Amino acid sequence: MARAFAAGAPLDLSGHADREVRAEVLRGLLIGGPGAGAEPLPALRLTGAIVRGQLSLVHADVAAVVSLEECSFEAPPDLHGAHLRRLNLARSTFPGMVAWSLTVDGNVRLSECRSTAEIRLVGADIGGTLNLDGAELDGDVAADVPALNATGVRVGGDLRAEGGFVSRAEIRLNTAVIGGAMRWEGARIQALFAPDLSVGAIADLCEGFTATGEVHLAYAAVRSRLCFDNAVLKGRLVLRHLETRELFLATAGPPPLVDLSHARIGVLRDDPPSWPPVLHQDGLSYDSIAWSADRLAWLRRDPRGYRPHAYGQLAQAYRREGRLAAARAVLLAGERHRRSALPWGARLWGLVQDWAVGYGYLPARAAGWLAALVVLGTAVFRTVPPAAVEPGKAPPFHAVMYALDLLLPLIDFGQERAFVPRDGTEWLAYALTAAGWILATTIAAGATRALRRE
């Protein structure tokens, strides 16, 4: 083994009867071997060994490549504070790992490994890719012990967990910085706790990605796309204060709750079958959103009730896309939602505004009411003309102008002053005058509201 190490050659013990290697022997080779400038460059390329004792490289500066594939470790490797060039533990089995503040210049390969206890990568600095493809990790859910604790880890390349990756306890990536992509398609995990996570490219937690517990990405920043398309999310999805250019939320089924409060998203793409029963969206902002005829129902899924920002944001997005009628419909729906929480007097006034002009967003409705009342007044007063106040001095009577004079409070055609209704038509005159004031007031209130929204 010493000769293979010095030459940087691989050594496969898989078929040997005696595969046991003492951890202190490996430590002696790695710490006591030639320095980084040695020729040829030494490397520990061991396959199929059973490592007895604990491999401890605490605060060691190891110039050699460390590759221990398909090895079985009796105790958790302790790499706390070590500085390695590359680390490969692919297809190996170990009872957890201690790697606080580990520094690795290149890649860390843990693909298809089997860890029966917590892997601690807190504060580790990995220059290349962290590869967990096909790995199987265990922790202790009952004792709140994660399978992987990578709090504050810095990864220069990608963080990969594809190819059948399984984690039976929580994964912690809070404040982690991933320079490349986060590729977790098809991964199956218990939960993900990653507030303040930063991803420099795409984050794909999609296409079969499954989480039985909560996926927590509050305050995360994903430079490109965060994708949950066809993901199975059985717990809550917390994306509060998330920042990303694109968010794909067409999950395989609706999660129980999605929290998008104060998230800032460029493009939001989802699908009605994936909408959760509970959706927090107060303060959510987006430039564009997928079109859906049922989008108003989506807005009403916030259990806290009417949220003015949510309606205004959707209307603004529709206006940017040229959907002006849809934007007005959203704002009208918002006023109706707001009305449901008002005192009875304000609700009654709101009903009048809605009935008359659609809160200012349906101006044609006011014109329709005005035309109908003019027709009614004209027909009645033509049949039962009012009496002149001063016979012989009154102008010619015009039923249409008389009805308009009663209805329009700020316009005087001279008819109302010159004629007095008679034979029971007084009540119609009073009703037309009251209706005119109500229409004028609601039109003014609605126009003010609509202009303010614009």
List, for residues 278-300, the tens digit of each pLDDT value: 999 999 999 999 988 889 999 99
Band (pLDDT 50/70/90 cuts) for residue 333 is: confident
pLDDT for position 29: 92
Residue 16: count other Cβ atoms within 10 Å of its Cβ.
Answer: 11
Measured at the CA of 304, the angle between CA 300 and CA 308, to 5 degrees, comes to 65
- Report the alpha-carbon distance of residue 317 to residue 407 in Å, rounded: 39
Cα(151)–Cα(176) distance, rounded to whole angstroms?
A: 6
pLDDT value of residue 42? 84
Determine the pLDDT at residue 354: 72
Provide φ and ψ at 135, rounded to 5°. -75, 160
Cα 203 to chain centroid, rounded: 13
Q: How far apart are the first and last CA of the chain?
A: 77
User: Token pair for residue 335?
Assistant: 């006023």
**Res 106: pLDDT:** 97
pLDDT for 325 equals 83
Nearest CA to 260 among 291, 304, 229? Answer: 304
DSSP, collapsed to helix, strand or coil, labels residue 285 as strand
pLDDT, one tens digit per residue, over 127-183 is 999 999 999 999 988 888 999 999 999 999 999 999 899 999 999 999 999 999 999
What local confidence, expressed as pLDDT, does residue 454 receive? Answer: 55
pLDDT at 415: 87
Query: Which position has the higher pLDDT, 108 or 453?
Result: 108
Write down the pLDDT at residue 322: 87
H or E stretch covering 452: helix 426-453
How far apart CA 33 and CA 237 sit, in angstroms, is: 49
Average pLDDT over residues 17-46: 81
Beta bridge partners of 269: 248
Give 100 or 438, the one with higher predicted confidence: 100
> What percent of the chain clears pLDDT 70, i.e. is strictly above it?
95
3-state secondary structure string across 345-383: HHHHHHHHHHHHHHHHCCHHHHHHHHHHHHHHHHHHHHH
* Main-chain phi, psi angles of 259, to 5 degrees: -110, 110
Bridge partner residues of 204 (DSSP): 183, 227
Q: What is the mean pLDDT of residues 203-213?
A: 96
pLDDT of residue 450: 56
> Beta strands of 154-255 (E only): which ranges?
154-155, 159-160, 166-172, 177-178, 182-183, 188-193, 198-199, 203-204, 210-211, 215-216, 221-227, 232-233, 237-238, 243-248
pLDDT of 348 higher than 90? no
Tell which residue, 133, 238, 241, 119, has the closest CA to residue 182.
133
- Segment 305-314 shows an average pLDDT of 89
Q: What is the pLDDT of residue 410?
A: 78
Average pLDDT rounded to a whole number, residues 78-90: 97
pLDDT of residue 33: 57
Sequence-separated (6 or more) residues with CB below 8 Å from residue 315:
327, 328, 330, 331, 334, 453
What does the pLDDT read at residue 334?
82
Query: In which residue are the tokens 């390329």 written?
Result: 45
Cβ pair 388, 394 in contact under 8 A: yes
**Three-class secondary structure of residue 76 per DSSP:** coil
Distances (CA, A) of 122 to 128, 156, 175, 311: 17, 15, 10, 42
Measured between alpha carbons, how far is 12 from 206 in angstroms, rounded to an integer? 37
Largest CA distance in the chain: 131
- At residue 435 the predicted structure's pLDDT band, cuts being 50, 70 and 90, is confident
Confidence band (pLDDT; 50, 70, 90) for 34?
low
Spatial distance between the Cα atoms of 331 and 22, rounded to a whole number of angstroms: 72
Burial label, 3 (beta-carbon count in 10 A; 0-12, 13-18, 19+): exposed
Residue type, 11: L
Q: Reply yes or no on whether the pLDDT at 436 is more than 90.
A: no
> Average pLDDT over the chain, rounded to whole?
90
Examine the pLDDT at 445 and tell me if it is beyond 70.
no
Four-CA torsion 65, 99, 205, 244, nearest 10 degrees: -100
- What would the pLDDT profile of 407-427 be if each residue is shown by its tens digit? 888 788 888 888 999 888 889
CB 201 within 8 A of CB 177: no
Strands 419-420 and 387-388 come out as antiparallel
In this predicted structure, the answer to whether residue 245 has a pLDDT above a threshold of 60 is: yes
* Per-residue pLDDT, 6: 80
